[in-house]
Amino acid sequence: MIKPHGADELKPLFVYDTEQHHALNEEAEGLPSLLVNSAAAANAVMLGAGYFTPLSGYMNLADALSVAENLQTTDGLFWPVPIVNLTNDVSGIGDAKRIALRDPNVEGNPVLAIMDIDAIEDVSEAQIDTMAENIFGTLDPEHPGVATFKGLGNKLLSGSIQVLNFSYFQTDFPDTFRTAVEIRNEMVERGWNKVVAFQTRNPMHRAHEELCRMAMDDLGTDGVLIHMLLGKLKPGDIPADVRDNCIRKMVELYFPANTVMITGYGFDMLYAGPREAVLHAIFRQNCGCTHFIVGRDHAGVGDYYGAFDAQTIFDDKVPEGALDIEIYRADHTAYSKKLNKVVMMKDAPDHDKEDFVLLSGTKVREMLGQGIAPPPEFSRPECAKILMDYYQSLDK
């Protein structure tokens, strides 16, 4: 199986030893605590789950700036997005070197992790802007990623962490949330060696379904890892439980047994386009996947990125040998009326726009809200039913 990024073995920061876990929870109750923001909490979950191997905790300012500007830490580790713990208020910490990080997303704010503080650094507005502009390619406050990042705070806490729980992801999504450790173990159990990963924050329509099939066929893989984001999204995006139901129904009815793993990961969407695509590739390599599908406007939002910027970044900014995972480059996929099947549009040069079944996201949402199923060439009727029920429930 493919090696993790920057290490021979996964480095999950979750404390699995029962006695040590209990002792740390008891210790945490006597430590100064910091209520982290959702972004820092999601970083802790990803670190705990092994997705961010080989990182040992939150980056310091020098590393965060180096990653933002040069896609590598100060010691040369290739990494596309700063993994930071930013906050506005450190008054409750004092001069403590060891603190409890508390979860903002769970009632009662339980301890999420214990952190050994290496440094607390002031970050200037100019430095925040430098990071934001490099990560997102813009400083437009209307960009949801920029708005979130610039609101995290200007006190940066760096240091290693020991993770004690996986926030709400394990309890809210017990059948779907999986750590990188668990995914690797299941691949071994299934006898999978060559695996392609598919990233999604949306329900999967016919085009996505067929794209997974195309990738499996073209690459000759043992299976596909459908890996959905379970964390925070921008307003208007479809909730994770609804997406989960759609994807499970599609796989149950339309894929052969033992060809698909349906899983999810505990992270908030960044909407960082190309940079986020590279981060996605890294943690899919850490899951054990050999290939990763990068499609049109991958991890994008609005019109901030070119249609294939998330593919060209792997040519322009990822050094040779920096990643072991290989990228499967996908064009826009749609149902061809001429060929009676879903195709990549680049593979149908003799087609006009009218030869495809094309619907905008806005049009699909309008149809679903009115109880009208999109055409079966666009969406499986069983999946459309789940989405119609969801959209119609919003009006009640």
pLDDT digits (tens, 9 = 90+) for 162-182: 999 999 999 999 999 999 999
Give the pLDDT band of residue 361 (cuts 50, 70, 90). Answer: confident
Mean pLDDT of 299-326: 96
- In three-state secondary structure terms, 347 is helix
What size, in residues, is the chain? 396
Torsion-angle region of 348 (φ positive above 0: left; ψ -120 to 50: alpha; else: beta): beta
| Catalytic residue selected from 201, 213, 248, 365 | 201
pTM equals: 0.95
Instruction: Give me the catalytic one of 25, 109, 202, 245.
Output: 202
Question: In degrees, to the nearest 5, what angle opens at C-alpha 131 toward C-alphas 36 and 160?
Answer: 45
Boundaries of every domain in the chain: 18-170, 176-393
Q: Is 190 a catalytic residue?
A: no
Q: What is the pLDDT of residues 18-27, one digit of tens each?
A: 999 999 999 9
Which range has the worst mean pLDDT, 61-75, 105-119, 128-142, 370-384? Answer: 370-384
Distance CA 103, CA 112 (A): 6
Q: What three-state secondary structure class fits 32?
A: coil
Q: In this structure, what DSSP letter does residue 72 have?
A: B
Asked about 329 being catalytic, the answer comes back as no
Q: What is the pLDDT of residues 263-306, one digit of tens each?
A: 999 999 999 999 999 999 999 999 999 999 999 899 999 999 99
Per-residue confidence (pLDDT) for residue 359, from 0 to 100: 77
Q: What does the pLDDT read at residue 360?
A: 75
Residue given tokens 């071994």 in the structure block: 188
Domain 176-393 has CATH 3.30.1490.70: no
Residue 396: what pLDDT? 65
Task: Tell me the percentage of the chain whose pLDDT exceeds 90.
Answer: 86
Which of these ranges, 17-26, 77-86, 117-126, 340-349, has the smallest mean pLDDT?
A: 340-349
CB 301 within 8 A of CB 271: yes
pLDDT above 90 (res 362): no
pLDDT bin (cut points 50, 70, 90) of residue 128 is very high
Q: Distance (Å, rounded) from C-alpha 76 to C-alpha 348?
A: 43
Handedness of CA 188, 192, 195, 199 (dihedral sign): negative
* Average pLDDT for the chain: 95
Superfamily of domain 18-170: Sulfate adenylyltransferase (3.10.400.10)
pLDDT at 394 over 90: no
- Residue 261 pLDDT greater than 70, yes or no: yes
Condensed to tens digits (0 to 9), the pLDDT of residues 239-248 reads 899 999 999 9
Task: Encode pLDDT of 80-102 as tens digits.
Answer: 999 999 999 999 999 999 999 99
Give 27's DSSP letter: H
User: Would you say residue 395 has pLDDT above 90?
Assistant: no
Instruction: Provide the 10 A C-beta neighbour count for residue 248.
Output: 17
